[in-house]
């Protein structure tokens, strides 16, 4: 919670990257032996990008380079790189080191670490970095989310597996100058652990390690979701959460120029619009052509909002979403 | 890098937890069919704690409760929990949500996220949280590292597997009052990615996922280290790194009351003392009875420094270490 002076934070550039392979829902129907139209009907997605050979570090590195280019900066201008993915590229070291290595930086001049709050990772990192650049700890910071969902979902259950896509998105930020209106005006992120088991991948860590309990590990390789329970929790808490965020920074819903939601699912996006009574054109929607890109979803949506000039300098926008935890978050910022 | 006013940060309480099972090196010799004395000779460790049934979230939660008790606080006083482990408990959600759930908190009042910089995670988190509490974003923050190494190391190679132990450590911090001298005086953490492959667990993420490439995954389950290469890199950069940290906050090595190093290995600890020409009694050493506890190593050493009153209020201490990345870090703080 932040009730105070806005944090002088400016987004200088954004960039996105995906794996090469674009898979339409009709193609997925064929692969899975389903009647044409099944995948689209169940997911609301027309196509998504799915990794074949690409790693999270590769697409993360590409997104970083594009964000730097858009910001008219070089890699050498960056003194901090924060990776804010929901998943790990490998067990050790952390993602930011893997991406920095992929970018070819071994200067020893960059501070690198990860911030992880599942699908709210970018939101948590953007909030945190605001304080770091405001205090002039770092000058130019790269935030990057890169998640490969392809191999961690059950493709036999389209309501779970079928909603995901792979991708990476990066954002370069610095402290605003006194003549710039860009600022982080409010942020809030909270975790309701009654939902901790509603979205999970039980394997992939030390709890169900293959050398600890092979059978348990093999049963825990893919994402598990209790969609109804998530929906119920989000429905109970999210509207109040959003309204409190607005009132704490003395804004009304109408004063938000654009909403950038986590692209969780077609249902989640529709419900958000309906519940908040926000017109369609005020919501950034990329779900149909990208799917739910896990942690990369929010910054990818932000990138397309900026690239298509729906988000303009001086606009006040709200990033909003829920993620595994169950974690809810909002950021209100002036771009 | 921070060259500026000290950050008003006060450590209120610390706590540690380990799995129940304590394994002596002689016992390990028997288990592995080695001559008595082999494990101790190769590792310099007398005993370490190894998990049987315990999860990282369980020992993390216990460490948090003990830190709260030492700080005379209740769980309800905490508004932020940052998990700073080097490894994941499970693939999703993030560790802080798992620990918060294990603590029984579902109040929806706590901001929870992870900060990961491998064995420097606690250092990265303590530095970051300094800015957050200084700005009064949060009042009381729990930092907790909890790593289970047992299942991710190759016990056939004692110079790799034999050096590790499991554990968790937590620290509660708040902003210092104007009458308290406690402060974070300097921090620096940098990553040299030329060493990114020197310490790694190649499996455990999306890169070598069992559903992506089973054979590659099975060959990548445990920690791999090129000890000589790590030593060479650390030897090349760490002494200058430490001296620059000291000079940037206008302190000499003699003005540091105590050094709290990451307990990487017997050799690393001995080399640090020798290189810096620091007397033994100024270095916190818990390696012999805990081993290298990965991310939990640094805060566990800090806890024992404080508990044994080697670290007293008003003392200036240096946290220092290297971790997978290859990442080097220092924090200089007045306790």
| pLDDT tens-digit series, residues B45-84 | 999 999 999 999 999 999 999 999 999 999 999 999 999 9
Q: Where does a domain end: A153, A175, A197? A: A175
Per DSSP, what are the bridge partners of residue A332?
A186, A318
| Gap between the Cα atoms of B230 and B226, Å rounded | 6
Q: Which of helix, strand or coil describes residue A199? A: strand
Say whether both A102 and A222 belong to one domain.
no
Among B100, B204, B211, beta carbon nearest to A90: B204
Residue A2 has pLDDT above 50, yes or no: no
Cis amide linkage into residue B42, ω under 30° from 0: no
Q: Where does a domain end: B128, B158, B175? A: B175
Q: What average pLDDT does this structure show over A295-324?
A: 97
Q: Which residues of B167-206 are buried (b: 16+ CB within 10 A; e: fewer)?
A: bbbbbbbbbbeeeeebbbbbbbbbbbbebbbbbbbbbbbb
Residue A257: give its domain's CATH number: 3.40.47.10
User: What is the DSSP-derived secondary structure letter of residue B201?
Assistant: B
Residue B36 to chain A, least CA–CA distance (Å): 26
Among B111, B120, B151, beta carbon nearest to A189: B111
pLDDT number for residue B49: 98
- Order across the sheet with B9-17: list the strands: A9-17, A167-175, A141-147, A80-83, A111-116, B111-116, B80-83, B141-147, B167-175, B9-17
Q: Counting Cβ atoms within 10 Å, is residue B112 exposed (0-12), middle (13-18) or buried (19+)? A: buried
| Gap between the Cα atoms of A324 and B97, Å rounded | 9
**Chain mean position to CA B288:** 16
> In this structure, is residue B2 part of a structural domain?
no
Torsion sign across C-alpha atoms B182, B186, B191, B192: negative
B chain contacts of residue A118, beta-carbon cutoff 8 Å? 92-94, 97
CB atoms near residue A188 (< 10 Å): 21
Residue A90 to residue B128, Cβ atoms within 8 A: no
Among A88, A193, A201, beta carbon nearest to B101: A193
Domain assignment of residue B140, given as a range:
9-175
Residue B94 to residue A117, Cβ atoms within 8 A: yes
pLDDT number for residue A157: 84
Say whether both A28 and A161 belong to one domain.
yes
Residue A93 to residue B135, Cβ atoms within 8 A: no
pLDDT band at B157 (very low <50, low <70, confident <90, very high): confident
Residue A310 to chain B, least CA–CA distance (Å): 30
CB atoms near residue B310 (< 10 Å): 17
Residue A182 has pLDDT above 80, yes or no: yes
pLDDT number for residue A65: 98
B chain contacts of residue A206, beta-carbon cutoff 8 Å? 51, 55-56, 87-89, 147-148, 150-152
Q: Output B168 or A268, whichever has higher pLDDT.
A: B168
Torsion sign across C-alpha atoms B245, B249, B254, B255: negative
**Chain mean position to CA B244:** 22
Say whether both A161 and A253 belong to one domain.
no
Residue B47 · residue B23 · CB < 8 Å: yes
Count of pairs with CB atoms under 8 A, one residue in A, one in B: 272
Q: Where does a domain end: A175, A205, A225? A: A175
Question: For the segment A320-332, what is each residue's pLDDT rounded down to a tens digit?
Answer: 999 999 999 999 9
Question: For the segment A6-45, what is each residue's pLDDT rounded down to a tens digit?
Answer: 999 999 999 999 999 999 999 999 999 999 999 999 999 9
| Gap between the Cα atoms of A138 and A130, Å rounded | 10
Residue A281 to chain B, least CA–CA distance (Å): 31
User: Looking at the 3D structure of chain B, how many domains does it have?
Assistant: 2
Residue A86 to residue B92, Cβ atoms within 8 A: yes
pLDDT number for residue A3: 56
| H-helix or E-strand spanning residue B300 | helix B297-307
Say whether both A272 and A327 belong to one domain.
yes
Say whether both B232 and B288 belong to one domain.
yes
Share of chain A above pLDDT 70, in %: 99
Say whether both A196 and A170 belong to one domain.
no
| Gap between the Cα atoms of A258 and B265, Å rounded | 53
> In this structure, is residue B3 part of a structural domain?
no
Read off the tokens for B123.
Answer: 């250092």
Q: Counting Cβ atoms within 10 Å, is residue A104 exposed (0-12), middle (13-18) or buried (19+)? A: exposed
> In this structure, is residue A296 part of a structural domain?
yes
In DSSP notation, B253-277 reads GGG--EEEE----HHHHHHHHHHHT
Question: For the segment A73-128, what is each residue's pLDDT rounded down to a tens digit?
Answer: 999 999 999 999 999 999 999 999 999 999 999 899 999 999 999 999 999 999 99
Q: Which of helix, strand or coil describes residue B290? A: helix
Range in A147-151, A182-186, A271-275, B282-286 the model is least confident about: A271-275
Q: What average pLDDT does this structure show over B172-180?
A: 97
* CA proximity to A85, closest of B205, B303, B10, B274: B205
pLDDT number for residue A308: 97
B chain contacts of residue A117, beta-carbon cutoff 8 Å? 94, 96-97, 112-114
Query: Nearest residue of B to residue A153 by CA position?
Result: B211
Read off the tokens for A153.
Answer: 């979902």
Q: What average pLDDT does this structure show over A265-273?
A: 91
pLDDT number for residue B196: 97
Residue A34 · residue A161 · CB < 8 Å: no
Residue B2 has pLDDT above 60, yes or no: no
> In this structure, is residue B1 part of a structural domain?
no
Q: What are phi and psi of B15, to 5 degrees?
A: -155, 150
Say whether both A243 and A151 belong to one domain.
no
Say whether both A244 and A312 belong to one domain.
yes
* CA proximity to B16, closest of B242, B269, B286: B286
Residue B324 to residue A92, Cβ atoms within 8 A: yes
| Gap between the Cα atoms of B275 and B238, Å rounded | 10
Say whether both A164 and A229 belong to one domain.
no
Per DSSP, what are the bridge partners of residue A10?
A174
pLDDT number for residue B326: 96
Question: For the segment B85-130, what is each residue's pLDDT rounded down to a tens digit?
Answer: 999 999 999 999 999 999 999 899 999 999 999 999 999 999 999 9
pLDDT band at A253 (very low <50, low <70, confident <90, very high): very high
Torsion sign across C-alpha atoms B52, B58, B64, B65: negative
Residue B199 · residue A93 · CB < 8 Å: yes
Among B89, B148, B207, beta carbon nearest to A90: B207
Residue A90 to residue B327, Cβ atoms within 8 A: no
Say whether both A198 and A163 belong to one domain.
no
Residue B97 to residue A196, Cβ atoms within 8 A: yes
pLDDT number for residue A160: 79
Q: What are phi and psi of A200, to 5 degrees?
A: -160, 155
Share of chain B above pLDDT 70, in %: 99
Say whether both A159 and A202 belong to one domain.
no
Residue A183 to chain B, least CA–CA distance (Å): 16
pTM of the predicted protein model: 0.97
Q: Which residues contact B270 (CB under 8 A, 6 or more apart)?
A: none
> In this structure, is residue A1 part of a structural domain?
no
CA angle, B79 then A317 then A141, to 5°: 70
Question: For the segment A146-163, what is each residue's pLDDT rounded down to a tens digit?
Answer: 999 999 999 888 877 889
Residue with tokens 């101790």: B40
Among A1, A56, A208, beta carbon nearest to B206: A56
pLDDT band at B1 (very low <50, low <70, confident <90, very high): very low
> In this structure, is residue A196 part of a structural domain?
yes
Say whether both B204 and B306 belong to one domain.
yes
Q: Counting Cβ atoms within 10 Å, is residue A197 exposed (0-12), middle (13-18) or buried (19+)? A: middle
Q: What average pLDDT does this structure show over A289-298?
A: 98
> In this structure, is residue B263 part of a structural domain?
yes
> In this structure, is residue A223 part of a structural domain?
yes
In DSSP notation, B172-196 reads EEEEPPTT---EEEEEEEEE-GGGT
Residue A202 to residue B90, Cβ atoms within 8 A: yes
- C-alpha pair distances (Å), A142 with each of A81, A125, A127, A261, B247: 5, 10, 13, 21, 28
Residue A204 to residue B117, Cβ atoms within 8 A: no
A chain contacts of residue B53, beta-carbon cutoff 8 Å? none
pLDDT band at B159 (very low <50, low <70, confident <90, very high): confident
Residue A271 to chain B, least CA–CA distance (Å): 22
Residue A204 to residue B90, Cβ atoms within 8 A: yes
Disruptive mutation site among B193, B194, B209 for chain A (greatest number of A CBs within 10 Å): B193
Cis amide linkage into residue A172, ω under 30° from 0: no
């Amino acid at each position: 919670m932040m009730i105070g002076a806005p944090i002088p934070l400016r987004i200088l550039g954004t960039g996105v990257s995906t794996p090469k392979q674009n898979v339409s829902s009709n193609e997925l129907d064929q692969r899975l032996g389903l009647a044409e139209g099944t995948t689209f009907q169940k997911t609301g997605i027309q196509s998504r990008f799915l990794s074949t050979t690409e790693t999270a570090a590769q697409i993360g590195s590409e997104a970083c380079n594009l964000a730097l280019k858009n910001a008219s900066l070089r890699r050498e201008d960056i003194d901090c790189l924060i990776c804010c993915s929901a998943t790990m590229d490998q067990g050790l070291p952390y993602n930011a080191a893997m991406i920095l290595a992929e970018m070819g930086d071994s200067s020893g001049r960059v501070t690198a670490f990860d911030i992880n709050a599942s699908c709210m990772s970018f939101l948590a990192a953007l909030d945190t970095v605001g304080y770091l650049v405001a205090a002039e700890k770092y000058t130019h910071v790269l935030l990057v989310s890169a998640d490969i969902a392809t191999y961690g979902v059950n493709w036999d259950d389209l309501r779970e597996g079928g909603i995901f896509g792979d991708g990476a998105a990066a954002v370069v930020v610095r402290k605003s100058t006194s003549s710039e209106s860009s600022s982080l005006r409010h942020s809030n992120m909270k975790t309701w652990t009654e939902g901790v088991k509603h979205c999970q991948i039980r394997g992939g860590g030390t709890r169900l390690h293959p050398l600890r309990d092979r059978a348990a590990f093999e049963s825990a390789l893919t994402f598990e979701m209790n969609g109804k329970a998530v929906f119920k929790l989000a429905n109970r808490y999210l509207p109040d959460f959003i309204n409190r965020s607005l009132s704490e920074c003395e804004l009304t819903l109408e004063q938000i120029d654009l909403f950038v939601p986590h692209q969780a699912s077609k249902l989640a996006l529709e419900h958000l619009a309906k519940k908040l009574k926000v017109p369609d054109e005020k919501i950034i929607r990329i779900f149909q052509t990208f799917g739910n890109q896990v942690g990369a979803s929010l910054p990818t949506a932000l990138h397309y909002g900026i690239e298509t000039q729906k988000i303009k300098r001086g606009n006040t926008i709200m990033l909003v979403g829920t993620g595994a935890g169950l974690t809810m978050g909002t950021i209100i910022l002036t771009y």
